[in-house]
A = this chain, B = another copy of it.
């Protein structure tokens, strides 16, 4: 049965000015979670969001998470645990989002005040948090309001989890999810997260996987202090020479990983999966535009997409302890720390990856016959996440996309990790869907972050429609 959605859609259109005002109010609260002095604004933002939900008839607990570990002068912003509807006959959808934002100030190069929503003649709504993640979170509230105005009952119960520390390590979130998995979240049937982006600007996508990230450092030290290269060059083993050799051993300029054993861990490409890439609305021109130049390794879009989504990669990020400012300094740094990371994909077991990389580093080190000292460190590691895109959570979302936008969504995986997906998958054992609202040009985390009016309003329709299809989708 096709859900009756026309009157809901009509109310969304009719309420769009109100929805934009809601976003304007939210953007005006500079809820930057990584700046100490903005912490009260993050907390204020959580309270504002709670009051909005309560005004719509939802129930909310602002779960206090205590002091921030290691920075005990700071109170963590609360995790908003909310409910809208508790009909035992309905399915339960856990929706996740975050109400904190990245840092921003006009002097970074913003064209307009980042905390005053500014709409241009193309309907681009500029403001910090517009697309990441205040717009999508408010999309759920807008959907509730439009349903109420249209006199249509929400076909599912909503369980809400909105955090205020996402841009600062999601401190406290995993503990909350673990603690509430069998309590507040226990009725969850599926999870939906709206906190990522379309691949381009025209076609929506559903995201069913993200790569993981293992981040390492290699520390090389030797001399007791920095040395003058004139006095000691050629006399002393130099930590930089050794470190550069180690860092040179991981990856070729064309991206080929040189660490033996890594590629054996990667899941083979099936025909089923291979068929997912060609229809994706993405061109090499799109890639060049987002790279800001034509330095793509691959010539074909399918190759580029697969290397972004389903193959591992190693990047060299930098060196701590060496000379890094403009100009010239004739220093032999005494201790240098190289930073690099590997993006992981199915079926790479992350501890196995670490074992292989550590062994590789130790073997390369032994070859150097250096009198310096080397230390290998794991900085952090986060597993990849992937879902079955044929699950009813996805098929329902795909139908909603087709209903609102008239096209089948791209089925995508992302390059960068979104750790909460994995936590929900593992702790709740339920299917997790990433259902983005914004587009690839939204500049989340950059200056001039924006959300297009079309994405906000049609996105609100999509979130509502998804709930209806979800309510009716056969679970097979």
- A-to-B contact residues, CB < 8 Å: 210-211, 213, 215, 222-225, 227-238, 240-242, 244-245, 247-248, 251-255, 287, 290-298, 304, 307-308, 311-320, 322-334, 339, 341, 343, 368-372, 379-380, 414-417
Q: CA–CA, A222 to B292, complex, Å? A: 8
In contact, A231 and B416 (Cβ under 8 angstroms): yes
Complex alpha-carbon distance, A32 and B304, angstroms: 55
Is there an interface contact between A339 and B343, defined as CB atoms closer than 8 Å? no
Instruction: Indicate if the CB atoms of A316 and B230 lie closer than 8 Å.
Output: no
**What is the CB-to-nearest-CB distance from A205 to chain B, in angstroms, rounded to a whole number?**
14
A333, closest chain B residue (CB): B318
Closest to A324 in B: B324
Contact between chains at B295 and A233 (CB < 8 Å): no
**Does A231 contact B380, Cβ atoms closer than 8 Å?**
no
Q: Could you jot down 9 A-B contacts, CB within 8 Å?
A: A211-B230, A224-B292, A235-B298, A237-B296, A244-B248, A253-B370, A292-B334, A295-B371, A319-B319
Question: Per a CB cutoff under 8 Å, which of B244, B296, B329, B341 touches A236?
Answer: B296
Residues of B within 8 A of A245 (CB): 248, 253
CB of A235 within 8 A of CB of B296, answer yes
Chain B residue with Cβ nearest A289: B224
Whether A240 contacts B343 by the Cβ 8 Å rule is no
CB distance from A243 to the nearest CB of B (A): 9
Determine how close the nearest CB of chain B comes to the CB of A282; give it in whole angstroms: 11
CA distance A227 to B320 in the complex (A): 19
Residues of chain B within 8 A of A312, CB atoms compared: 234
A234: B residues at CB distance < 8 A = 255, 297, 307-308, 311-313, 343, 415
A237 and B299 CA atoms in complex are apart in Å by 12
A341's contact among B224, B324, B330, by CB below 8 Å, is which? B330
CB distance from A415 to the nearest CB of B (A): 4
* Contact status A324-B330, CB under 8 Å: no
- Rank and list the top 6 A-B pairs by shortest CB-CB distance, nearest first: A224-B292, A230-B416, A234-B313, A318-B323, A318-B322, A233-B313
Which residues on B sit within 8 Å (CB–CB) of A313? 229, 233-235
Chain B residue at minimum C-beta to C-beta distance from A313? B234
CB neighbours (8 Å) of A371 from chain B are 294-297
Please give me the residue from chain B that is nearest to A256 by CB atom: B234
Q: How far is the CA of A238 from the CA of B29 in the complex (A)?
A: 37
A181 to B237, CA, bound (A): 42
**Residue A320 contacts which of B224, B291, B317, B326 (CB distance < 8 angstroms)?**
B326
Instruction: Determine which residue in A223, A233, A290, A325 has the highest number of CB atoms from chain B within 10 A of its CB, and name it.
Output: A233
- Select one of B225, B317, B319 contacting A330, CB under 8 A: B317
Complex CA gap A380/B224 in Å reads 28
- By beta carbon, the residue of chain B nearest A314 is B233
- A323 contacts B339, C-beta separation under 8 Å: yes
- Which residues from chain B contact A251 at a C-beta distance below 8 Å? 241
When C-beta atoms are compared, the residue in chain B nearest to A238 turns out to be B315
In the bound complex, do residue B292 and residue A417 qualify as a contact, i.e. CB atoms below 8 Å apart? no
A476→B304 CA distance, assembly (Å): 77
Q: Chain B residues with Cβ under 8 A from A290's Cβ?
A: 232
**Chain B positions within 8 Å of A322 at CB level:** 316-319, 324
**B339 and A328 contacting across the interface, CB-CB below 8 Å:** yes
Residue of B nearest to A304 (CB): B235
Contacts of A238 in B (CB 8 A): 253, 255, 315-316
Most chain-B Cβ atoms within 10 A of its Cβ — which of A229, A291, A307, A334? A229
Q: Is the CB of B308 within 8 A of A235?
A: yes
**Please, which residues of chain B bring their CB within 8 A of the CB of A223?**
291-293, 295
Q: How far is the CA of A296 from the CA of B343 in the complex (A)?
A: 38
Complex Cα gap A422–B232 (Å): 21
* Smallest beta-carbon distance A249→chain B, Å: 9
Write the nearest CB–CB distance from A202 to chain B, whole angstroms. Answer: 19
In addition to A235-B298, A318-B322, 8 A-B residue pairs with Cβ atoms within 8 Å of each other are A215-B328, A227-B291, A231-B308, A235-B291, A240-B317, A244-B248, A245-B248, A253-B368
